[in-house]
Structure 1
């Protein structure tokens, strides 16, 4: 993850410098500056995530030159097999987006459904492996 963190850090620096220069030179276009600032933020977020994962887990087998092929074998992570929460989240987002057009009442209903879907996704497997012995 170290290489990815450096790569996205470079992208973030590029978008940050571009946003500053564009903001100075284009006095009448705040939309372009805002888009570049958002692009900087997204690249910086990915870079930060990759850097934190590298610090937490160390180098992956793909990052080491002395690693064997077998070092990368085994389960990578837990991926849930069945979950109703992505559908609830999508429905909540669709209703909230429709509420932007038709009124605040519909947006609030959609936001409530969306919040429940996101909470369900986040906390669905919060107790996974809590009762297992090593």
Structure 2
């Protein structure tokens, strides 16, 4: 995670430096505030990565002398295919359409669909605990 933290540190520095230069050069407050806020958001993510990097063991990506074989093995579980992201996008579209035309009844339906799609996505691979008698 240290590589990612450094990446966001560089991004944060770029945004803050750009905000200073833009603020002096353009004399336009909206763009300056936008760059400062972008730097702040980047700093939040970088701080999180620094926080997590202290608690994790060192990964091969963090070792400059690592070999390719150091990263071999199981990486994690990735779903082969799921239709829940499509349902989530469609229900989000319904909710956004309801907001755009301010149809409260459709907004209620859209939010219910969003909640069902989120629950389906989260519990897609959930199994019941083994029942012992």
1:122 and 1:13 map into 2 onto residues whose CA distance is: 36
Runs of 5+ consecutive residues of structure 1 not aligned to the other structure: none
Runs of 5+ consecutive residues of structure 2 not aligned to the other structure: none
TM-score, length-normalised on structure 2?
A: 0.68
Is 2:94–2:110's contact at 8 Å kept on the other side of the alignment?
yes
Q: How does 1:18-57 map to 2 (within 5 A)?
A: 18-19=18-19, 22=23, 25-27=27-29, 29=30, 32-33=31-32, 35-57=34-56
Number of residues paired by the alignment?
127
Q: Which residue of 2 aligns with 1:80?
A: 79
Root mean square deviation, CA, Å: 3.3
TM-score, length-normalised on structure 1?
A: 0.68
Distance 1:95 1:80, change over 3 A: same
1:108 and 1:91 map into 2 onto residues whose CA distance is: 15
1:112 to partner: Cα distance? 2.5
Q: Which residue of 1 aligns with 2:61?
A: 62
The worse-fitting range, judged by mean Cα deviation, of 75-84 and 119-128 is: 119-128
